[in-house]
Structure 1
Amino acid sequence: MEFQSFAGLNATGDLDEETMELMQTPRCGVKDKVGFGSDTRSKRYALQGSRWKVKALTYRISKYPKRLNRKEVDDEIAKAFNVWSEYTDLTFTAKKQNPVHIDIRFEESEHGDGDPFDGPGGTLAHAYFPVYGGDAHFDDAEYWTIKSTRGTNLFQVAAHEFGHSLGLSHSDVRSALMAPFYRGYDSNFRLDSDDIQGIQALYGRKTSGGGSQQPTIKTTKKPNVVQNDNSNELCKSPKIDAVFNTADGNTYVFKGDKYYRLTENAIADGYPKKISEGWPGLESNIDAAFTYKNGKTYFFKGTKYWRYSGRTVDGDYPKKISDGFTGIPDHLDAALVWGGNGKIYFYKGSKFWRFDPLKRPPVKSTYPKPISNWEGIPNDIDGALQYTNGYTYFFKGDKYYRFNDRTFSIDQADPPFPRPVAHWWYGCSNVPATFTQSGNVKQDPNSDSRDTNHNDVDGSVFDAEKSELLELLHAGNDYPSPAHDEYPGGAANTHQIVFSITLLSIFLSTLVSKVFL
């Protein structure tokens, strides 16, 4: 009955012919009903809960399909992105090399992300929401076609998947592009008003030209910070065991045998709840947790770890950390998937480890490294996560730190970090008077922006030694040698050379002085 309701069928609960036919229809591999809370957003678009903080996005097709011409694929992918830029100020630029915001690949079967494809039919493609990197994967076992009713139309599937890459979940409006089922090639394709409302709710309307359909979108005032009852356990003792996001966009805090769901400004009503009831099979007093881009949530305690799909533990868990995460120690302090490069980072005491499941060995011999590389972050942290606003946060005791992924140091803001976690995350009133100014629980009016290059970080640079960095500088076209900047008359402009050397010195002092993550 739930399937029928979401698919826009008559919710009879009977397995009738229409229901059977739709269940066998090829579809997107992204889960339905992904969004905040229990609101299923009946008959309208659904927002996953994360979005890009920049509107000038880049993409790269790093692996092309076997049976299509590359130029035609380039054109269809660009056209699919244009579906969304027509109604917003988003722009999409193709690049030949990393780093990019959205990586596009055509793969078959198991392809390294924990979500194997199933061959022709069934799951056509899947994509990750912005908080998990935005990448899109297409099953290369499908018979992809262009402007044809035969096979599977690349343009329409790509446009759908890029909706996920931008932060849209599946819609229960059957005419919407973001409906989960593939409807076949439509030569007169138009974006449904439901899709337009969804994308504009995330990124706003196009400010000039563009789409003719401009639906009215209701807006609500941002709520004031809710002050929680100080009898709440987290208000009395803010120290936590773990904090993490789930694939549905919710943020949870674990402490002892209880867990709390956080809203934008406070602890959600009805919490705390028992971990044993919310995540059956999971023990209390966990050490760390994170959700990977495959949508799976991992919990760590002592020498063991659990893997969950939503609230259901996967088979044969728990397992030993030494078996599933080779090179990672037991009894962890915290873990997160860092937005700078999509890798998993583990923290314990004064050290951290980087884990890449696609590499062998998954932990490089240069690890562990000192936590002091994350400038300003203390040892023995309690929790860490990349929040849905794109910022990285670390928690210790009754305080939290917001980390600037561009400068690799604690973010500069007013009031400064660290801040009391009880007020800014839990909505408690028992905090120092100097920290009680109103504002967004995770951000503040004076530091609300995110650097436009935040998502353009190539993971390789964080392993560079000084010599490797210098080679990168000399090899890259973005950093010309000042000695070759010649001007009319054959003589180099001295002021230009001095200025270029100064910029290079600043760059080197910022990067070379650090041991990269």
Structure 2
Amino acid sequence: MDSKVLYILILSGILNVGYCGVIKDKTEDPNTLIDIDGYLEKYGYMESRPPFETEEEILNSDAYRKTAIRKFQSFAGLDATGILNDATIDAMRKPRCGVKDIQTPEEVAQADRPLNFYAPGYKWPSKTITWRASRPTRKLSEATQRYAFENAFKYWSDVTPLKFEYTYGEPDIDIQFAVRDHGDGRYNAFDGKGGVLAHAYYPTNGDTHFDDEESWVFRKNEGTDIETVAAHEFGHALGLGHSSEPKSLMAPFYQGFNPDFKLHEDDIRGIQSLYGTKDGEITTTHAPTTTSSGNDVTPVSPTVCNMKFDAMTLGPDGFTYVFRNKTVYRLNNTGVVATMLSRHVYPGAPRSPGAAVYMDNTKNTFIFKGRRIWRYTGFQLDADYPITITDSNYPTRIHAAIAFKSTGSTAQQIYLFNDNSFWEFNPNTNSIVPGFPLTISGFWRGIPAGIEAAIQWTDGDIYFFKGDKYRRFDADRRTLTKGYPKDKAPAWLGSVCGSAPK
């Protein structure tokens, strides 16, 4: 067998894969290709290949590929021969969800032994979960869609203490129909009719998106059944990964509409391992074919109290906002008062921003990540943003930023920080002020290298965050305040972490 990257010519079209997306084969072009190595990498059976410079570097050995094929066959319920036979190719062509079947060893301790049900460790903190179809499709009536979604949720609420409530406000699970690139990144873009059908995110995001170019139907097989796809994706939104049980709803392959469908016992064990039975008891199984992932579900409070601050800024509403991954935490003087998706507060905001600042004289918020900048007026993204900075003096890795104002002054200056240096950024020209960078140690005495977030707060002092500690800096005297560093969580996140004065 040729040991180069392997492609198999098929008749029914190229297999498209996307994050947590249910997939169908394309049929428009009768002569297209499946990238077998790419498929095995995408779904966790082989390690992803790094960028290559020579042909030698792109070779995957026959033995390595055979092991990966054997793993896939085992997961798909086929004879685990390691031989790429017709049955294996047919299994790879099946409509399916694009989330990994096997996590890497760093993600799951038992990566080389696919589980039946798999719960990665994400769950909702409340047993009442709100939902809303904020952007429905026009291919079915809104009443039909609501009925389909209610039915899809009911599969899960029938076997757990979970309650799903429709809301006209900000939902936990936001359902949207969209096309092509819809703001989830280019690798998660929909690809038109016959490709990725839908995708969903784990808690506590939960957003579920459907490709609006599909032929959506309700309880039919002459198209794509919205209830069946929604029930699978809601499983992900509740915290379930894929199952190696082929009859399970959470198996990776789309199974079409079945009028007699019921949750498989494997689906039930999986969801009850997260939320308990209808009576609220958490269940486990001792069946030899089902094992836990080894990842304990972390309670919400410790997760918040131990989190890294990606960025921190005051907001135009007077609250303080802390960014972490896709989430933003709204803080007042006593601690956290709300937790939201950052893109629901700052539309289009990037995941894990490097820094953020608010300019109270212009009412602009700037979010920095790499060479890109997002600018908001109030909470609305300004036209033509985000922009990419081409100034060669601009730092490519920004860890923190402050909008600095001297006592008695109305002017503000934006300072950007990385490990050991800082720069002044001119927001009018989107460029670095001449004379920078300067060293942090030379100007901000007592502040360590590698700070992770910073803010000039409402009391006029500047606060620098690193790890689980923070330091208070007297802006006028340019000195570190005595008694610091202190633990950041009690002082900033409030009673959930044990309140303490700043």
When normalised by structure 1's length, the TM-score is 0.48
Q: Which has the higher strand share?
A: 2
Structure with bigger gyration radius: 2
By relative contact order (CA 8 Å, sep 6+), the higher-ranking structure is 1
